[in-house]
Amino acid sequence: MAGDKKKRGLLNGLTHYGDPGFAAYLRRSFARSMGYSEEMLNRPIVGITWTASGFNNCHRGVPQLVEAAKRGVLAAGALPLEFPVTSLGEVFLNPTSLLYRNLMAMDVEEMVRAQPMDSVLLVGGCDKTLPALVMGGISAGKPAVVLATGPMSTGRYHGERLGACTDCRRFWAQYRAGGLDDQQIGEIEGNLATTQGTCAVMGTASTMAILCEALGLMLPGGAAVPAVHADRLRQAEASGLRAAQLAMEGRGGDLAFDRIIDAKAAENALRVLLAISGSTNAVVHLAAIFGRLGLALDMDLLNRLSDETPVLVDLKPTGAHYMEDLHAAGGVPAVLRALRPQLHLDVMTVTGKTLGEVLDESDPWVDTAVVRTPDNPISPQGGLVALSGSLAPKGAILKRAAATPELFEREGRAVVFTSLEDLSARIDDPDLDVTADDFLVLQNAGPLASGMPEAGYLPIPAKLARAGVKDMVRISDARMSGTAFGTIVLHVSPEAALGSPLGLVRNGDRIRLSVKERRLDLLVDEAELAARRAAFAPPPGVGAERGWRRLWRDHVLQAEDGVDLDLLRGA
């Protein structure tokens, strides 16, 4: 055994003691203390990420998924070993889960690289979890398969079907406007999220699961299976089997993520994002994922694809259905088949087959009420557009599919909130000087200032909401939940905390938005801006003198680079 040259399984990456034979002997000894037979310890090893946590409702089903995945690994002749990694539960983290996405990615990368595994099954679901797993998987460089936890099933309230979290925002807006009382909103609260799994709509978790499948990192059909459906456990078993095959195949390294995701696959992912009218957060996450490979997310390409890619998936928040309906309608393979003429079909997938081959083998049935045909789209253009201009020199994002078209070509007066605290303190002040034609502007909610939270969904001021105002232009350097809706300009870069044009906006300034021209401009003369720039003082930000927040402060990048750390990006 000490002279074994295979360098796989338990002998992969021996601990450094200055004596490889002793390291192997000691490792086998401790492994045997866990009750494994010599036959098992001679097998290739599949690592399985354990992302369950008492603070993570989306991952309540992870223990069952891991057990099902182990069945698949064992059936293929490998040894499954689960290991814990950081668990990110969106609504349980302060100040925002994005602040910890890169930390989780580092955790995944280092544990996959440091421990003796020949491949890894990346199990997770909640918003920042899937991108963190993929980012870490790319950088670790070992063969991997993604397994999503799956979306939750819908609940009911007074005969109406509900799903977190688009419906939660709709009802909360009614509550703020006086249309619901405390008892009603409490009853709704108890019926929005009634099963394990991620949000039931086209939020960030669902979007990223779909994009993982579109990129070829997940087995076909795996993105939309509900968390409580038996198919989810079967998907786990099949994913474990495939991860084991990768561990045992001589060409397993050829199917590591950095070999699957290339410029063609990246373009496919952007096109699918537009066709599903996915979350704006996906732009940040894809930029980070591509950046790990030395690729950039080209905003001009995004706009070109958006102009020629129809919205085909009829899911909330821009449609009528839920993720469980997408699964029943044919899942992501149905979406990909509808887009087939516009996709690069020769890209490789984790199955070992090309995307075209995968689609050839998929069930041709589709429910066109949920997944439309290209000649009957929900919208002839994609759900997202990128903006630039004097207020956003390095870009901004608008989810036009969730916005009000009447507000797309508009000039308005800025009503500025200088921080999240300022927004909270004044947004519902009855004396706030604001009208429905104004532009609400939130500053200092970007990566350095606040960790870039999902605060871009600025609430309609209470006095306007009570008067019946449903939407108005809102602008910030923050993000927005994929479950949200409205005419909301996000990810404005550079962020306000850097003294950018966004940071120089003052109450009463005029701003012009033109979705047609892809422009966002601050209509203030340069002399005035120069004076403001000279007097600018940055906010304190979320950085600290030690630990993770010190690394964040010193190395975090802006939105166009995915808010990754500069030291984690690929060449």
Q: What is the pLDDT of residue 2?
A: 39
Residue 270 lies in a domain: yes
Q: Which of 137, 163, 189 is the last residue of a domain?
A: 189
Mean pLDDT to the nearest integer, 84-101: 93
Site of tokens 């198919």: 231
pLDDT digits (tens, 9 = 90+) for 243-283: 999 999 865 667 899 999 999 999 999 999 999 999 999 99
Side chain identity at 87, as an amino acid letter?
S
User: Tokens 């079967």 map to which residue?
Assistant: 234
Do residues 520 and 393 touch, judged by C-beta distance below 8 A? no
Domain-located, residue 102: yes
pLDDT tens digit string along 105-154?
999 999 999 999 999 999 999 889 999 999 999 999 999 999 999 999 98
pLDDT at 1: 36
Answer whether 478's CB lies under 8 Å from 452's CB. Answer: yes
376 falls within a domain: no
**Are 438 and 412 contacting, i.e. CB atoms less than 8 angstroms apart?**
yes
Question: Quick one: 405 and 439 in the same domain?
Answer: yes
Domain match, 346 and 411 both: no
Kind and range of the H or E run holding 174: helix 166-176
Looking at the structure, tell me whether residues 87 and 163 fall in a common domain. no
Tell me which residue of 335, 336, 338, 337 sits closest to 326, measured CA to CA: 335
pLDDT in tens, 445-486: 999 999 999 999 999 999 999 999 999 999 999 999 887 889
- Give yes or no for residue 25 having a pLDDT over 60: yes
Query: What one-letter code names the amino acid at 491?
Result: H
CA distance to 163, 200, 209, 223, 461, per residue, from 326 (Å):
14, 10, 13, 10, 35
144 falls within a domain: yes
Share of the chain above pLDDT 90, in %: 85
- What is the per-residue pLDDT across 208-247, written as a single tens digit (0 to 9) for each? 999 999 999 999 999 999 999 999 999 999 999 999 999 9
* Shared domain check, 498 and 517: yes
CA distance 267 to 360: 20
What pLDDT is attached to residue 217? 98
Count of domains for the chain: 3
DSSP 151: B
Q: Are residues 172 and 114 in the same domain?
A: no
Tokens standing for residue 553: 């402060």
Q: Are 59 and 53 in contact (CB under 8 A)?
A: yes
Question: What average pLDDT does range 296-324 have in this prediction?
Answer: 95
Residue 50 — φ and ψ, nearest 5°? Answer: -105, 105
Average confidence (pLDDT) over 316-323: 90
Q: Are 405 and 528 contained in the same domain? A: yes
* Distance separating alpha carbons of residues 344 and 428, to the nearest angstrom: 49
Q: Are residues 180 and 205 in the same domain?
A: no
Which pLDDT tens digit goes with each residue over 512-566? 999 999 999 999 999 999 999 999 999 988 877 899 999 999 999 999 999 999 9
CA distance 442 to 458: 8
> Domain boundary residue among 319, 345, 361?
361
- What is the CATH classification number for the domain harbouring 527? 3.50.30.80
Question: Can you give the pLDDT at residue 460?
Answer: 96
Same domain, 407 and 533: yes
Confidence of residue 371 (pLDDT cuts 50, 70, 90): very high
Beta-carbon count within 10 A of 37 CB = 9
In a domain, 161, yes or no: yes
Checking if the pLDDT of 333 tops 90, the result is: yes
Q: Please state the φ and ψ torsions of residue 157, each to the nearest 5 degrees.
A: -145, 115
Contact at 8 Å (CB) between 48 and 240? Answer: yes
Residue 468 maps to a domain = yes
Mean pLDDT is lowest, of 78-87, 157-166, 433-442, for 157-166
pLDDT of the residue at 240? 98
| Other C-beta atoms lying within 10 Å of the C-beta of residue 230 | 10
| pLDDT of 291 | 98
The CA-based angle 199-201-207, given to 5 degrees, is: 85
Residue 92 has pLDDT above 60, yes or no: yes
Task: Characterize 431-469 residue by residue with b for buried, 16 or more Cβ atoms within 10 angstroms of its Cβ, and e for exposed.
Answer: eeebebebbbbbbbbbbbbbbbbbbbbbbbbbebbeeee
In this prediction, residue 518 carries a pLDDT of 98
Query: Is the backbone peptide bond immediately before 58 cis, with ω within 30 degrees of 0?
Result: no
Domain boundary among 189, 214, 247: 189
Q: Are residues 401 and 481 in the same domain?
A: yes
Asked if 80 and 46 touch (Cβ cutoff 8 Å), the reply is: yes
The answer to whether the beta carbons of residues 206 and 126 sit under 8 Å apart is no
pLDDT bucket at 4, cuts 50 / 70 / 90: very low
Tokens (6 digits) for 315: 């899911």
Bridge partners (DSSP) of residue 9 are: none
Separation of alpha carbons 497 and 541, rounded Å: 8
Name the residue with tokens 């950095």: 258
**Bridge partners (DSSP) listed for residue 151:** 198
Does residue 186 sit in helix, strand or coil? Answer: helix
- Both 218 and 101 in one domain: the answer is yes
183 plus 140 within the same structural domain: no
Q: How high is the mean pLDDT of the chain?
A: 94
Beta carbons of 143 and 253 less than 8 angstroms apart: yes
Residue 451 lies in a domain: yes
pLDDT tens digits, 425-448? 999 999 999 999 999 999 999 999
Closest CA to 120 of 24, 227, 269, 257: 257
Assigned domain for 149 exists:
yes
Is the pLDDT at 36 greater than 80? The verdict is yes
Backbone angles phi, psi at 454, to 5 degrees: -85, 60
Interior angle at CA 511, CA 509 and CA 514, nearest 5: 175
Query: What residue type is assigned to position 442 of the chain?
Result: L
Measured CA to CA, the distance from residue 570 to residue 356 in angstroms comes to 28
Report the amino acid identity of residue 13: G
Domain span holding position 253? 43-153+195-361
Q: What percent of the chain has pLDDT over 70?
A: 98
Q: Is residue 3 scored above 50 in pLDDT?
A: no
For residues 127 and 239, membership in a common domain is answered with: yes
